[in-house]
Structure 1
Amino acid sequence: MKSKLIETKLSGTLLTAVNLAVANLEGVNLCGADLRGINLRGANLTKANLSWANLSGARLSGARLQGALLNGVKFAQAYLNGVDLSGLELEGVDFSEAKLNGANLSQANLIASSLMAASLRGAMLAGANLQGADLTEAVLSRASLSQANLTRADLTDANLQEADLTGAKLNLACLLRTNLSGADLSDAYLWVLICMKRIWSKPISWERVCVMR
């Protein structure tokens, strides 16, 4: 049976470990709510207000979040595999250790967000703004980061094996122990690249890389 809470106001509510899978929560106000461990698989959260909510460990695979307000949300250790977050405002959002495999974050604003140790295998981040983002130990193998802005991003110990970084901006990014095996850096911008230590086993495509000093 599907739950229906369209445009309901539940701001500040404690809903830890509640099962709302496939629920219709369109436009619901969950601002500041404690939603740790909640099951929202396949739920409709279109235009929902989740600002400052704690969704640590929540299960959101297959959930719809188009037009949702996600300012200051905590998604630490959350399951967001395959979720469409394209074009959303996600500045400063905590995705540390979250599962975002196959997720769509294209054109999303992820300035100063934390993706530390997050799993983003095959994720789409084309055109995403990741300026100053923490991507230490993140797994981005086969992810699409074409035209993404990674200026001043921390990619220490990150895995970018076979990632698409064509046209990406890596100005002042930290690539200490970053795995770039098989990555495509064609037309990428590496301005005063810092902290770089090469760790790769497969050829990297450096065609037309612009190294600016």
Structure 2
Amino acid sequence: EYDGDAVIRETRLTYHIFHLVFVLLIAAVPTIALNLPVGLVARLWANRRRKKALAASKVKIHARDVMLSEKIVVCIVLVPSLWCFYGLSMYFLTDMDGPTLALAIMSLPLFSYTGVVTAEAGVVDLKDIKPYLMRLFPSARRRMSALPETRRQLQADLRSFVKEIGPKLGEIYYKKDIDWEQIQADARKLGQIPPVHPSPESPAGEDGTDDAKKKDV
């Protein structure tokens, strides 16, 4: 009799593969027809603008912000334009009646969104499958096998560091409820923290100087 967790672990890779194939099949048609042309044009245009921004700037390193901004602008313009192009193509090149044509055009945003969502799910599945694929390589398998021991060693080092340094902090380490204002006041009395002097630009009366003068008068 198998343990439930063991069964899940053994079938996880198979599930990810079938789920990846399923979502890619769903996303294939809307992604290729609606999203891929816009994505390619946006990538080419954004890369071109990025090169111009890098040539004109002395502080930008990769200009990824320029690429993102340009991609957004291009997609805002091209996505509705592509829908209009498909609508006009169906109007002039097919014999659809009015209601069918309107339904087809109104379905384009839904299909485009479906392609984006399913493609995103496919990317997540690819990332989940990557560790299993990496285990096929001996070097990666050795590194992944050494990770639990490295993690345990880091935990032990961190605990020993806290046990060594923690008691030196006094009440900050032992008390659960800490009054930080009182700790700062005590530290100022001991000279560990320099006192805060009022700024010469501060308004009169904030540091009590005018009140003291009035009392002296």
What TM-score, normalized to structure 1?
0.19
Which one has the largest radius of gyration?
A: 2
TM-score of the two chains, using structure 2 as the length reference: 0.19
Higher relative contact order (CA 8 A, sep 6+): 2
Q: Which is helix-richer, 1 or 2?
A: 2
